[in-house]
Structure 1
């Protein structure tokens, strides 16, 4: 598999993660609403998170907007990591931290210094 194909697959995989996460946040089953309430966010905030995740997903797919999608994804996942860390929910930090690593690989993972976007 060439570098381009690997980057494309990673971008699509992370995009799929954000589609799933965005949909879950917008639909917001009871357990998600309870999480947001426990963290002190307003009742409507899950819509903001879901919309940002869906936007990120859409931006990650085309090469021309991939860097913008990665930056937005870093902001969203960084906020998730910060929220979880502040509330001591360390076991839940793992997934958003892995997504942060994948986003970094999408943008900066080339060994030859060439951008992956």
Structure 2
């Protein structure tokens, strides 16, 4: 059995993470809704977050849009980390910071691959 290349592994793991995260936010439990309220977000903001996470998952899975998906995922996780840090929940910042780093890595790899093959955006 061939081993799965690490780049593909990161891509699939990130997409799965954002798919699951989006689902947990769109179909939020009372505990998740209470978290959003405690952090000061308006009612329904969990839906915005969930839909953006689903979008990030889809963009990451498609090679053509992986760069944008990586950037969107990094922005979402940066916002999540900032939210919990500002509310003193320091231990909860570690997972989003890790996922943010992997999302940025995915975007950087996509860009490096495109530049090495002579791809130019818009051209």
Moved more, 9-18 or 98-107: 98-107
Q: Contact conserved, 2:71 with 2:104, CA < 8 A, in 1?
A: no
Give the alignment of 1:8-87 within 5 angstroms.
Answer: 8-87=8-87
Instruction: Count matched residues.
Output: 113
What root-mean-square deviation, in Å, do the aligned CA atoms of Structure 1 and Structure 2 show? 2.1
CA distance in structure 2 between the aligned counterparts of 1:37 and 1:57, rounded to whole angstroms: 25
- Give, in angstroms, the shift of residue 108 of structure 1: 2.6
Q: Could you tell me the TM-score, scaled by structure 2's length?
A: 0.84
Work out the CA distance in 1 between the residues paired with 2:17 and 2:92: 15
**Structure 1: which 4+ aligned runs deviate by more than 4 Å?**
none
Residue 112 of structure 2 aligns to a residue in which SS?
Answer: coil
**In structure 2, C-alpha distance between the alignment counterparts of 1:37 and 1:6, rounded to whole Å:** 38
Q: For residues 105-116 of structure 1, what are the structure 2 equivalents within 5 Å?
A: 105-108=105-108, 115=112
Where do 5+ consecutive residues of structure 2 fail to align? 115-123
Instruction: Extract unaligned runs of 5+ from structure 1.
Output: none
Aligned equivalents of 2:52 and 2:62: distance in 1?
17
